[in-house]
Structure 1
Amino acid sequence: MTNVLLRYTNLVLVTLFILSLLSFILAYLFPGEAVENLTGLRLNELTAMQNSALMYSADDNIFVQYWHYIGELFAGNWGVSFSSGLPLYEDVGHYLPASIELSAYALFLSFFIGLPLGFIAALRHHKLTDYSLLSVSLLGYSIPVFWLALLLILVFSLQLGWFPLSGRISLLFEIPSITDFIIIDILLSDSIDKQAALISAFRHLILPTLSIAVVTTTLILRITRRSVIETLNSEFILAAYARGLTPRQVLMRHGIRNALIPILPLLAMQFPTLLTNAMIVESIFSWPGIGNWLIQAIYQQDYPAIRAGMLAVSVLVVIFTMSIDLTIRLTDPRRRRAERATT
């Protein structure tokens, strides 16, 4: 176990080093002065620019500059936005939770729908139910996320009027920002009608969540179906039948647990796709997340915001993916046996 932890720690550190290096290099690739792209301060702010040049050791070699850049990152000095003039550390901390919240709800919905349907398709293998679910999953996977989001807006917002078009909550509610997770902030607030605010927040969540969850649900369905079929055809399942266990007993005692073990690492790899789709959907529904913020930064040529936003999203994806994969590696007995066999 110690060797596994050390390997993953080294892998995470190396990956984060490469991401920070790319983020640092971007400041030199964007138009304008590198210090200006790092700090977000305009050249006419002479005193501030001189202090920033000293802070980042702009007159020294590139290695010294990178070392000072890393120090400023850890200190929370990510620069300021060209467009808003606000510190980027605060901007990222404000917008990133909205994207995480939207992705988390979509992932939960995908699990809730995709896993049972995957088991049903596997248990009805090569039957009408299996073929029907595979056809629906193929259709759902083929639909572009942005097109599905626009279609949901057209049907359920413009024609039926069931759900709001954009935003995170009705403008009638002023939610104090505590954690920047809207549901948690509503529950922690004492100055509003919580029930009405929760209903409004969930109504705003439904369409963006469905737009993201469709693709992930189809992936989970197909992955689950394949894993369950392979598990049910394994030798230990045949041995369980030979001992006289009923199909229900075999499924509950041996099938579900062993089928889920290989699914979880594959699902962890879907988080980058899920977050990317969430960033696309945010711009369509005007969801105040990191994706919408980054797109606005690109439109406004806000280079410090682009650099900081890309670094924050990349670090989040790397840490989440590595953490899930490490957890599975430490808890999956088959992986542990395979590692011991190779050492």
Structure 2
Amino acid sequence: MLSFLQRRLTLLFITAFILTIIAFIVDRVLVASHNPEVINHQNYFYQYSNYLWHILNGNFGYSSLDNKDLIKRGLVFFASTLELCFVALIFSSFFAIPMGILAGLFRNSRLDYVIMTIAIVALALPVFWVGVMAVLLPSVWGDLLPVDGNLSLIYDVPVVTGFLLIDTLFVVDKYDLFAFIDRVAHLILPALTLSFFLITEIVRLTRSSMTMVMRSNYIQAAYAKGFSRRKIVVAHALRNALPPIIPQLRLQMSTIFSFAMTIEIVFNLNGIGKWLFISLKSGDYLVLPVGILIISGFILTFSIFIEIFMVIISPLRRSALYAD
């Protein structure tokens, strides 16, 4: 186990080192191409060492538009994007896991064909088009849900954690739960739009995992002992079919974040996608390497954390680890 942790932490540091090199190259090439006067003629090793030293000290630079700390603003906007992805994951899991379980239990049946057809159609729909259609819903069905912004302008919520679902709970004395409810209302349509892609992935993964588990020898032995199908599915199949979905889903993290950033632009959400888009459009190119480090760093750290977590909870992964 210690050697496994050592290998993963080594991988984390090496990949983080490569990310800083990529961010440095983007910073030098992109910024220098738009501002030739800032080109430094010192050797690149010295420039990179200086750049890495500033990063290790938390100095990622300041915005050329409002002179605010880039890393602090980037983390606040990234927290909003994480919140959107988390709510979308809850929505998609609520619908997709039962659909995937049914498709796996009744593989090659009419129910399986209907579920997979729905999943394939959801995957084929471009996420930005689904977002635009969701924005047009109030003009067709009436003003049911907000389609613009993170929170109504009547609420003044100070930034504490960056997650508005949490920050709105800190102003309960001032607004009761109305600010929290308003935040939830602003998240519903964007999260449902993002969940279209997630539903497809979770249905496919759950169906494949459930099918493999139901064909396992211990499931056949449970049938031979006379256990009911319901008991076998609930007590044995689900417990072994759901954990393998987690490491497979983490491979889609980069795609999920790219879709989330697109949705932020469509719904005018103050997330990291909109922040990067507006900043680059306004000529504030220093935000690009900061955005690369924040997003890539989170995906890398999250992936390694999931690997360690799966080794802890999965006996099969632990046995394979000890065998290696």
Q: TM-score, normalised by structure 1?
A: 0.89
Query: Which aligned pairs between 1:61-72 and structure 2 lie closer than 5 A?
Result: 61-72=43-54
The C-alpha deviation readout for 1:73-106, integer Å capped at 9, x for no partner, is: 1212111112222121221122111111111111
CA distance in 1, matches of 2:30, 2:178: 46
Superposed displacement of residue 202, structure 1? 1.3
Higher relative contact order (CA 8 A, sep 6+): 2
Amino acid at match of 2:281: Y
Aligned residues of 2:31 and 2:286 also touching (Cα < 8 A): no
CA distance in 2, matches of 1:327, 1:269: 15
Query: Which aligned pairs between 1:75-94 and structure 2 lie closer than 5 A?
Result: 75-94=57-76
Q: Which runs of 4 or more aligned residues in structure 1 lie more than 4 Å from their structure 2 counterparts after TM superposition?
A: none
Query: Which aligned pairs between 1:142-221 and structure 2 lie closer than 5 A?
Result: 142-156=124-138, 159-221=141-203
Gaps of 5+ in 2: none
- With over 3 angstroms needed to count, the CA separation of the structure-2 counterparts of 1:158 and 1:90, relative to structure 1, is farther
The C-alpha deviation readout for 1:26-59, integer Å capped at 9, x for no partner, is: 122115379x79xxxxx6xxxxx8xxx9xxxx56
- Residue equivalent to 1:295: 277
- Residue equivalent to 2:19: 19
Pair 1:323-2:291 in alignment: no
CA distance in 1, matches of 2:129, 2:246: 29
- With over 3 angstroms needed to count, the CA separation of the structure-2 counterparts of 1:157 and 1:316, relative to structure 1, is farther
- Residue equivalent to 2:210: 228
The C-alpha deviation readout for 1:310-340, integer Å capped at 9, x for no partner, is: 2111111111112112211333221222233
Amino acid at match of 2:30: F
Pair 1:309-2:273 in alignment: no
CA distance in 2, matches of 1:83, 1:246: 66
SS at match of 1:192: helix
- With over 3 angstroms needed to count, the CA separation of the structure-2 counterparts of 1:157 and 1:94, relative to structure 1, is farther
The C-alpha deviation readout for 1:6-43, integer Å capped at 9, x for no partner, is: 11001111110000011111122115379x79xxxxx6
Amino acid at match of 1:150: V
SS at match of 1:303: coil
Instruction: Give the stretch that moved more between structures: 223-232 or 88-97.
Output: 88-97
Pair 1:257-2:239 in alignment: yes
SS at match of 2:177: helix
Aligned residues of 1:157 and 1:164 also touching (Cα < 8 A): no
- Residue equivalent to 1:271: 253
- With over 3 angstroms needed to count, the CA separation of the structure-2 counterparts of 1:159 and 1:112, relative to structure 1, is closer
Superposed displacement of residue 125, structure 1? 2.0
Aligned residues of 1:157 and 1:165 also touching (Cα < 8 A): no
